[in-house]
Amino acid sequence: MHEYSIVQSLLNSCEDNVKQNNASKVTKVVVKIGVLSGVEPDLLDVAFNTFKENTICHDAVFILNIQKVIINCKNCNSTSTLEKHEYSCPTCQSIEVEIIDGEDMYLMQLELE
């Protein structure tokens, strides 16, 4: 489960931000996870809540925002959010599409005290 190593990196990033901002703790962590990122949201949540004890994030609320796949059609130039894992344009049914969101994981927000 690579979610554990992701959480360790996330906790390290939180500690760095606390030091840079002269804060004392993290109260909220917001992460955006794309459905194609390869990260399992439930496992990430369990890992974060397990490993946050005895860290600067011990009281932090962990919020996961799941990002659906967003594509841009190279044929008709429309942008669409896919509801299913069918990689074709819902407007013109072309398969000439570019994924513009939904493949990555980002730390979106930290609240510090």
Task: For residues 79-86, give the mean pLDDT.
Answer: 91
Provide the pLDDT for residue 86.
85
- Find the CATH number of the domain harbouring 80: 3.30.2320.80
Measure the CA dihedral 27/54/52/14, to 10°: 60
The number of folded domains in the chain is 1
Give the number of other CB atoms < 10 A from CB of residue 63: 13
Quickly state the pLDDT bin for 85 (edges 50, 70, 90).
confident
Supply the range of the domain harboring residue 102.
Answer: 3-112
| pLDDT score of 16 more than 90 | yes
Q: Which amino acid appears at position 52 of this protein?
A: K
Calculate ∠ Cα 103-39-64, nearest 5°: 90
Q: What is the pLDDT of residue 1?
A: 56
